[in-house]
Amino acid sequence: MKHSLLISALLLATSPLHAESHQPGSPPSTQAVVMTDGVVQRIDAVAGKITLRHGAIVNLDMPAMTMVFRAQPPSLLDKVKLGVKVKFHAEQINGALTVTAIQVVP
Ligand SMILES: [Cu+2]
């Protein structure tokens, strides 16, 4: 039994911070989505695009990097400002990497 404990400990140690992404206040109807940490580098409201320096995106199997995302809906961009820390959810929609949820980290 000792080794199964060890495996659990290893899994815990290697699992990223996304384990904390459960929002205590979120309504029960929303599915648990993977939220990724990021910092807003650029906002292009006209094009509906946002550049984020982001941590590893688990659901997209993407390492940390800086890149441009579409915002869907584009009004998501109203919630953020240059340089702020955010948590966001991104997925691939019609071939484009798209932010579908974003919130400023207080
Ligand atoms: Cu990326």
Single-letter amino acid, residue 80: V
Ligand 1 centroid from CA 2, angstroms: 38
Which domains are present in the chain?
18-104 (2.40.50.320)
Single-letter amino acid, residue 2: K
On the 0-12 / 13-18 / 19+ scale of CB atoms within 10 A, 10 is exposed
* Residue 87: C-alpha distances to residues 9, 74, 103 (Å): 26, 16, 5
pTM for the model stands at 0.70
State how far the Cα of 64 lies from the Cα of 85, in Å rounded to an integer: 15
Ligand 1 centroid from CA 54, angstroms: 7
Q: What is the pLDDT along the chain (106 residues), one digit of tens a residue?
A: 555 554 455 444 444 444 444 555 545 544 578 999 999 999 999 999 999 999 999 999 999 999 999 999 999 999 999 999 999 999 999 999 999 999 999 9
